[in-house]
């Protein structure tokens, strides 16, 4: 690692002040940032540890949404009785992230802000049309994920919480990399008041909506409705674990499993 200044503020105001430099980085669960520092792929002049900010933790069930603090760890989302009852697809998604160590350290806000192309939470954020609430504004899901590891967040802007609208029904399924446990392809389907939404992670440079699947499920929210749907491989990711064509094949397969989970 390189030398850096370490600060651990006790309030959100102090944290935002500490981040008012392009060379500062926020530290949430550290599941991505700490390995990046160890590999010397990042060189922040200041590391701002957010772990003392209790105001960024917790789960709040509202009338038509569930709001989750940015520093809430994956294990707490998975175990929450409120989420299990009101939004079981999100609890199931959180329970399948990484391993127990990652789930007990990694945070919702850190995962969404990092926007790893194979992360699970972005699929739920986009699939449910969630609202990302920061220390400055509210950002709708459709405008949040910009590109590979790139979001709408401005320098020094912090996620406070994410509000997930409660769908009529929803499900998530992923085909995981056996080593990293990241999604080679993950699909979140949601039957919302505004219509069907299908979000795909792991298959491209960022999470994206699959409109052909949405249209098919809009006519019939059943796994059978996706039986003859194909997804073009153009623009999809490929690596030593799978070709673009393989990922294209997996998308409708995972979508059918997600629909089955939603209907279970």
pLDDT confidence of 207, banded at 50, 70, 90?
Answer: very high
Asked if the 1-55 domain carries CATH number 3.30.43.10, the reply is: yes
Q: Which pLDDT score is estimated for 247? A: 98
pLDDT confidence of 102, banded at 50, 70, 90?
Answer: very high
- Mean of pLDDT values over 70-98: 98
Q: Which of 9-23, 84-98, 189-203 bottoms out in mean pLDDT, i.e. has the lowest?
A: 9-23
Specify whether the CB–CB gap between 10 and 52 falls below 8 A.
yes
- Mean of pLDDT values over 176-186: 92
Specify whether the CB–CB gap between 172 and 88 falls below 8 A.
no
User: Which among 162, 160, 12 is positioned nearest to 83, based on CA atoms?
Assistant: 162
Q: Which pLDDT score is estimated for 19? A: 94
Distance CA 122, CA 199 (A): 8
Q: Which pLDDT score is estimated for 21? A: 85
Structure tokens given for 229: 């749907």
Distance CA 86, CA 2 (A): 45
Mean pLDDT (the chain) is: 96
Q: What Cα–Cα distance (Å) separates residue 56 from each residue in 80, 187, 221, 241? A: 16, 28, 36, 36
pTM: 0.96
Residues contacting residue 23 through CB under 8 Å, at least 6 positions apart: 44, 45, 46
Question: Over 70: is that where the pLDDT of 1 sits?
Answer: no
Q: What Cα–Cα distance (Å) separates residue 124 from each residue in 12, 209, 246? A: 26, 11, 23
Please name every residue paired with 66 in a beta bridge, in sequence order, or none if there are none: 61, 164
Domain ranges of the chain: 1-55, 169-263
Question: Over 90: is that where the pLDDT of 2 sits?
Answer: no
What would the pLDDT profile of 226-242 be if each residue is shown by its tens digit?
Answer: 999 999 999 999 999 99
Q: Which pLDDT score is estimated for 91? A: 98
Distance CA 66, CA 73 (A): 15
Specify whether the CB–CB gap between 208 and 148 falls below 8 A.
no
Question: Hey, what CATH topology would domain 169-263 get?
Answer: Enolase-like; domain 1 (3.30.390)
Distance CA 264, CA 262 (A): 6
């Amino acid at each position: 690692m390189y030398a850096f200044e370490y600060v651990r503020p006790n309030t959100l105001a102090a944290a935002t002040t500490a981040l008012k430099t392009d060379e500062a980085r926020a530290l949430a669960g550290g599941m991505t940032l700490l390995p990046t520092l160890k590999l010397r792929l990042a060189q922040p002049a200041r590391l701002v540890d957010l772990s003392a900010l209790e105001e960024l933790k917790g789960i709040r069930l509202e009338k038509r949404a569930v709001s989750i603090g940015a520093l809430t760890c994956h294990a707490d989302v998975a175990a929450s009785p409120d989420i299990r009852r009101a939004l079981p697809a999100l609890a199931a998604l959180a329970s399948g992230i990484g391993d127990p160590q990652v789930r007990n350290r990694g945070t919702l806000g850190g995962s969404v802000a990092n926007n790893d192309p194979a992360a699970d939470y972005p699929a739920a954020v986009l699939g449910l049309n969630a609202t990302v609430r920061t220390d400055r504004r509210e950002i709708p899901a459709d405008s949040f994920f910009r590109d590979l590891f790139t979001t709408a967040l401005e320098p020094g802007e912090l996620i406070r919480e994410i509000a997930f609208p409660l769908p009529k029904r929803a499900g998530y399924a992923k085909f995981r990399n056996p080593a990293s446990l990241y999604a080679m392809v993950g699909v979140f389907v949601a039957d919302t008041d505004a219509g069907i939404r299908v979000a795909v992670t792991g298959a491209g440079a960022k999470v994206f909506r699959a409109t052909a699947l949405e249209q098919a499920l809009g006519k019939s929210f059943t796994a059978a409705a996706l039986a003859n749907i194909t997804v073009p491989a153009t623009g999809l990711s490929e690596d030593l674990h799978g070709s673009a064509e393989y990922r294209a094949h997996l998308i409708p397969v995972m979508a059918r499993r997600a629909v089955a989970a939603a209907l279970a």
